[in-house]
Structure 1
Amino acid sequence: MPNRRILSIWFPRLGAERLIRRQPVLADQPVAVVEDQQNMQVITALSGVAQANGLQVGQPVRDAHAMCPGLLTFTRSAPQEQRFLEALQRWAGKFSPWVAPEDGDALVVDLTGCGHLFGGERALMQVVQDDCTDLGLSVLMGLADTRGAAWALARYAGRAAGSDRSGDSIDQEARATRSRAGKRRHWTKGGAAPAITTQAPDIKRIAPPGQTYGALSPLPIAALRLDADMTAQLGRLGLRRVGDLLGQPRAGLARRFGRGLVLRLDQAMGSAPEPVSPAKPPDHFAVRMTLPDPIGLVEDVMAAIDRTLPRLCKILKDKGKGARRVMLQAFRSDRAVEMVEIGLARATHDPHRIRPLLEMKIEGIDAGFGIDMIRLEAVQVEPVHDEVTVGHREAGAAVQARLNNANAMDDLIGLLGARVGLDAIRRFEPADSHIPEKSHKIMSAAWSKPHKGPWPKPTNPRPFLLWRPEPVHAPVTPKMPETFRWRGMTLTRLNAIGPERIAPEWWLDDPNWRSGTRDYWVTDTTDGQRLWLFYAHGGAMSPGWFCHGSFA
C-alpha cells in the first residue's frame, strides 16, 4: 500500500476575502474583520492591503486604526465563514473524496492515490493555486506523509526559527555549548545530523515520501501545533526548532512538558494516527420522473405527482423528517423549467396533506410544447416524531380526536397560505407585560403553536377594542369630568369605575408612554357607550385626557 499523502490548504485571509468577494469595491482598501475577545475588539482576518500596512492578526483594533487611519473594519460572522468554508470543501472534493475542515480557515485533503490523476503532486498543487486565484482567495499549502507535517509546511515552510528575547540567539552561545549540542544529536540519531539544503519556495512545501524528518527539522517549534505558552517555554530553554525536540529523549519531554507535546511530535512524524474524516454530506430529499411523451394536461401532471409524491414522503419518513416547503419543477421540451413552491403549516411526510396544496398551484404552470420530466424536492425539512396514543379506549379516542383537530387546523392554514401566503395568517399569543398594548404578541400561525391553557386575565377588565390613544377635550385635571368631547361628540358621564394607575416601563424609552403615568377609568356614557379613558399626568409631554378603547 502506498504511503499516505496529506495536503493542507490554508486560507490565511478567509474572513476578509469573503467580504471582498461580496463587495469588490473593497479590493483596493485595507479591510479587517474584528470580534470581541475579553472586552476588547481584536483583528481576526486582514486583507492583503491591510497586511501591507503592517497590521497583524490578533492586534487590537485601536492600535490598528492608529497605524492605518483608513482601515475599514467589519464584525466577524462565524456562521457565514463556516458556510463559506463548507462551499470550499465541496470544491476541494474534485481532488479527493476525503476532505475535512480544519481550524475554521483551512481544509485537509487525503490525496493518497490521487496525485497521478492531475499529473503529479506539484501539478495538483498548481491547479489548487490557480483555482484559488480565480476565486479571489489567498492560499498556502503543505503536502507530506502526515496531517501534522502538512499543517506545519502550509504555515511555517521557509520560516527560520527565531528568539523572542534579545541576546538569546543560539549563535551567541558558547562554542562548547554548541559543540555538545551537535554531539548530542549525533549520539541520539546514530550518525551525522542531516544536511539542510536550500530549495525553491514551491518545493519547500512538499515533503517527499519518507522524508518528513528532514522537512520538519528546520521549522520553528510552533509548527507542531503547540500553544503559545509552551512554545515560549521551550524557546527559553533553547529548543526553537522541531529538530531540537526530535533529538531529545521522549520520557524527559513527557515528564517535564506533559504528554501533549509528545503526542504532537508523534502525530507529525506518523507514530500516532491522525486520520482525515470527511464531513457527512447533508441529506437531500428529491425525486423525479422522466415521461416517455410530453404532457400538458392538469390531469396528466397530477398523475405524475401521484406517482412521485409517495416516494418522496417515504424517503422523508425513513429519515424521520417532514417537509415544510415543497418545490415542484416541470421540465419542458423546449428546455425551460416551470417551478411552483408550497408551504405547510406543520412539517409532515403524509402525501394526502401535500397533494391538495400542489393541486392548487398546478394552474400556474405553463406547459408550453409539453413537459418531459417532473421533479419534486423537499426544500425545507424538519424532524417529525411519531405520536402513539395509549390508554383506555375512550381516552385514546379523545387523544386521537385532538390530534385530528390539530391536523385539520394545520391543513386549513396550509390551504389559506397557498392562496394568500403563510405570512398573512397570524395568531395572538399572551405576553407578560402590564402595559395594555404589550399584553399580547402577534405570531405567525404557520411557525408557532397555539397557546395552551386559558388566556391570562388581568385584575381589572380590559376593553374588547383597543386603539392608539385619542385626545379627549376635557379640563386638564385628574378628576373625572362630567362632560367631555371625543370624536366630535359631546358625551356625558353616567358612571365611572377607577382609577387604575399604570406606570410606564422605566427600563425602556417607549415613545407611546412619554406622557408619563396614566390613571385609567371605565366610563359609561348616557348614550350607551362604555369607554376606557385615562388621564396622563405628563412626563416629557403635556398632561391631558385620552380614550384608549371601548368595551363593545
Structure 2
Amino acid sequence: MPKRRILSLWFPRLGAERLVRAARGLQSGPLAVVAEQANMQVITSLNAEGQAAGLRVGQPVRDAHAMCAALVTRPRNAPAEAAFLSALRRWAGKFSPWVAEEAPDGLVVDLSGCAHLFGGEAALLDVIETDCADMGLGVQMGIADTLGAAWALARYAGQEAASDRNGDAIAQEARATRARAGKRRHWTRGGAAPQVAAPGGGARIAPPGQTYGALSPLPIAALRLEDHTLAQLNRLGLRRIGDLLGQPRAGLARRFGRGLVLRLDQAMGSAPEPVSPARPPHHFAVRMTLPNPIGLTEDVMAAIDRMLPALCARLEEKGRGARALRLEAHRTDQAAEVAEVGLARPSFDKHRIRPLLEMKIDKIDAGFGIDMLRLVAVRTEPVHARTLTGHAEASRAVRERLAGSTAVDDLLGKLGARIGLEAITRRHPAASHIPEKTAQTLAAAWSEPARDWPVPPRPRPLLLWRPEPVTAPDTPDVPQTFRWRGRDWRLAQATGPERIAPEWWLDDPDWRSGVRDYWTVVTEQGDRLWLFYGHGGTMSAGWFCQGSFA
C-alpha cells in the first residue's frame, strides 16, 4: 500500500480573482473585496495589484483608501465564493478522486498512489500551476505526509519565524529557551527534532518521512493555532515549530490547552486527521436531442412523455420525489426557453407531473424550432412510507385516503402553476388560549392538513378583528344601549361572560387592557357581536368589540 501523501492547495486571492473572472469589464488595478466585521468595513481579499500596493487582508477600508487612492472595492458575496470553491473542487478531481474543501479558500487532496500518473509530485505541481494560471488564479501548494504539514507548507514555506515584539531581551529569551530545549532529550524520546533545513530553502514538498525537518523552521502560526495561543507562545520566545517539538507535552497541554498538543500531533502524524471528500449532490436530469427542430405543442409533449418516465425512475430508485422541475427548450438560434413547475408534495409519479408541465407548454416560444429538450428536477426531497396508528377502522380509512387520493395535492400543484405555490395557504391550530392566536397561517405546499382542531369552551365568531372601542357605560354589566362604528345599537340578548386572561409572559399591545370578560351580544337589528369588557391592566377599563358571528 502506498504511503499516504497529502496535497494542500491555497488560493490566497480567491475572492478578488473570482470577481475579475466574472466581470470581464473590470479595469485592471488594485481591487479589494470588503465585508462588514464588528461594525467596520474590512478587506477580505485582494488581487495581486492590491497586495503590491502594500494592502493586507483584514485592513480597514478607510486605511486602505488612504494608502491607495486608486483602490476599487466590491462587496463580498460569500455564497458565490463557496460555489466557486466547489467548482475548483470538481476541477481538482482530475488529480485524485479524494478531494475535500477547506473553506473559505483552500482544497485538500489525498494523492496516495496518484502522483506517478503525472510524472511525480514536482511535475504534478507544475501542472496545477499551469492550470491555475490559465484560469487566472494564484495558488500556493504543499505536499507532505499529513494534512497539517501540507497545510503549513502551502501557506508558510520559506517564511522566516519573526517576533511581533522588538528588543534584545526577547531575542535572548528565545535563544535561551531553544538552548535548554535542545539539551533535554533525544528527539526520538520526545525531545527536539534535528534542525534539518527544508529542501530548496522554501520547498513546497516534504519528502516521505521528513515531516520533522520540513516543519521545524516554519513559524508556529503554521500549526493552525488560535490567536491568543500564538500570542502567548510568542511572548515566551517560542516562534518556530522546532521550538515546540522539544517541550514536554504535559507542560504544553497544562499551560496552553490540549488544542496545541493536538495540532502538533496532527502535523507530525501522531494523531489521525482524515481527508473527508464532499459527497456529490443528487442530480436528476434527462436530455433529448432532436434530429429535426420541432415547434408544435403535440411534439413537445411527445418528447416529454419519453423523458419523464426515465427521470421518475431515477427519482424512485434513490427514494426521492421532485418538488420543483425545470423544462429547458433550446432553440436553433442558440436561445433557450425555460418553464418551471412546483409540486405540493414530493413525488416521482409521472401521471402527477405531466399535467403541470402541459400547463406551461403554451408559454414556450419555439422560435425557428427546438432542437434539444432538457428536464431537470431542481429540488428534490426524500419520500418516506407512512405508517398510521390508532383505531383500526379509522387508520384503515385514512391510509386508503392517503394512498389512493392525491386530488388535493394535484389541485395545489395546478393552482401553484398559475399563481405560485407561495400564494396558497392553509390554517393550522396553534397552542394559545388567546382568541386571535388560536390559528396560524402556513404555506399549503409545505404543511400537512390539520386533522384535529381543539374545541373552544365557547363558540368563536366567524370574523375577528383588532378590538374596536365601544361607547357604553364604564361598568362590567352588559350595556342595554351602546354606540359602535358610528351607529347606535340596542341589546336584545346577551350570553356570558367568558373570562380570558392575557399571556402575562408576553407584552402584547392589544392585551394591555388586562383580564377580559367576553359576551355574545344579539342586537335588535339582528347582528351577533362579540363584546368584551377590559378590566384595566396598564390601560383604562372599557368596552370593546372584537368579532361578529355568522
Please tell me the residue identity of whatever aligns with 1:282.
P
Give the aligned length. Answer: 517
Query: Would you say the 8 A contact 2:198–2:206 is kept in 1?
Result: no
Which residue does 1:33 correspond to in 2?
Answer: 37
Moved more, 262-271 or 367-376: 262-271
In 1: Cα distance, 2:489 partner to 2:389 partner:
61
Moved more, 343-352 or 532-541: 532-541
In 1: Cα distance, 2:369 partner to 2:207 partner:
59
Distance apart, 1:432 and its partner CA: 1.8
Alpha-carbon deviations, 1:519-552, whole Å to 9, x = none?
3221111232221112345567665433221221
Which residue does 2:73 correspond to in 1?
Answer: none
Alpha-carbon deviations, 1:116-164, whole Å to 9, x = none?
699762563475478575xxxxx77341233222111234331316599
Which residue does 2:284 correspond to in 1?
Answer: 285
Alpha-carbon deviations, 1:41-97, whole Å to 9, x = none?
9999956799x899979xxxxxx99x99x9xxxxxx9xx958743531322432444
Counterpart of 1:530 (choices 528, 531, 536) is 528
Distance apart, 1:456 and its partner CA: 1.1
Question: CA 1:430–1:194 in 2, change beyond 3 Å: closer, same or farther?
Answer: closer
Question: CA 1:195–1:219 in 2, change beyond 3 Å: closer, same or farther?
Answer: closer
Distance apart, 1:233 and its partner CA: 9.3
- After superposition, residues 1-400 of structure 1 pair within 5 angstroms as 6-10=6-10, 31-34=35-38, 84-85=81-82, 87-97=84-94, 98-102=98-102, 106-110=106-110, 112-113=115-116, 121-122=125-126, 124-125=128-129, 128=132, 141-146=140-145, 147-157=147-157, 158-160=159-161, 167=169, 169=171, 181=183, 194=196, 199=201, 204=202, 206-207=204-205, 209-210=207-208, 212-221=211-220, 223-225=222-224, 241-243=240-242, 268=267, 276-387=275-386, 398-400=397-399
Structure 1, unpaired ranges of 5+: 35-40, 58-63, 71-76, 134-138
Please tell me the residue identity of whatever aligns with 1:159.
E
Please tell me the residue identity of whatever aligns with 1:483.
T
Alpha-carbon deviations, 1:453-505, whole Å to 9, x = none?
2x112223211222333443434444322122334543211122233344444
In 2: Cα distance, 1:430 partner to 1:394 partner:
25
In 2: Cα distance, 1:19 partner to 1:131 partner:
12
Distance apart, 1:383 and its partner CA: 0.4
Question: CA 1:309–1:238 in 2, change beyond 3 Å: closer, same or farther?
Answer: same
In 1: Cα distance, 2:411 partner to 2:526 partner:
39
In 2: Cα distance, 1:291 partner to 1:87 partner:
33
In 2: Cα distance, 1:439 partner to 1:21 partner:
54
Question: CA 1:21–1:339 in 2, change beyond 3 Å: closer, same or farther?
Answer: closer
Which residue does 1:435 correspond to in 2?
Answer: 434
Please tell me the residue identity of whatever aligns with 1:220.
P
Please tell me the residue identity of whatever aligns with 1:89.
S
> 1:462 aligned to 2:460?
yes
Please tell me the residue identity of whatever aligns with 2:37.
V
Question: CA 1:487–1:155 in 2, change beyond 3 Å: closer, same or farther?
Answer: same
Please tell me the residue identity of whatever aligns with 1:300.
D
Which residue does 1:136 correspond to in 2?
Answer: none
3-state SS of paired residue (2:460): coil
Please tell me the residue identity of whatever aligns with 1:124.
I
In 2: Cα distance, 1:132 partner to 1:3 partner:
33
Moved more, 252-261 or 442-451: 252-261
Alpha-carbon deviations, 1:412-470, whole Å to 9, x = none?
221222223222221111112232221211111111111232x1122232112223334
Which residue does 2:408 correspond to in 1?
Answer: 409
Query: Would you say the 8 A contact 2:327–2:373 is kept in 1?
Result: yes
Counterpart of 2:483 (choices 485, 488, 496) is 485
Question: What CA RMSD, in Å, does the superposition of the two structures yield over aligned residues?
Answer: 5.2
Distance apart, 1:359 and its partner CA: 1.3
Distance apart, 1:368 and its partner CA: 1.8
Moved more, 169-178 or 416-425: 169-178
In 1: Cα distance, 2:295 partner to 2:384 partner:
38
Please tell me the residue identity of whatever aligns with 2:161.
A
Question: CA 1:479–1:96 in 2, change beyond 3 Å: closer, same or farther?
Answer: same
In 2: Cα distance, 1:506 partner to 1:91 partner:
55
Alpha-carbon deviations, 1:21-54, whole Å to 9, x = none?
9999x966975535xxxxxx9999956799x899
Query: Would you say the 8 A contact 1:6–1:144 is kept in 2?
Result: yes
In 2: Cα distance, 1:487 partner to 1:179 partner:
90
Query: Would you say the 8 A contact 1:186–1:192 is kept in 2?
Result: no
Question: CA 1:30–1:262 in 2, change beyond 3 Å: closer, same or farther?
Answer: closer
Query: Would you say the 8 A contact 2:197–2:217 is kept in 1?
Result: no
In 1: Cα distance, 2:130 partner to 2:15 partner:
23
Question: CA 1:55–1:286 in 2, change beyond 3 Å: closer, same or farther?
Answer: closer
3-state SS of paired residue (2:436): helix
In 2: Cα distance, 1:416 partner to 1:180 partner:
78
Query: Would you say the 8 A contact 2:294–2:371 is kept in 1?
Result: yes
Please tell me the residue identity of whatever aligns with 2:533.
Y
Structure 2, unpaired ranges of 5+: 67-75
> 1:452 aligned to 2:451?
yes
Alpha-carbon deviations, 1:178-229, whole Å to 9, x = none?
797499679999x995457984xxxx25136455444322123453456789
In 2: Cα distance, 1:551 partner to 1:390 partner:
37
In 1: Cα distance, 2:439 partner to 2:150 partner:
58
In 2: Cα distance, 1:304 partner to 1:172 partner:
76
Moved more, 101-110 or 357-366: 101-110
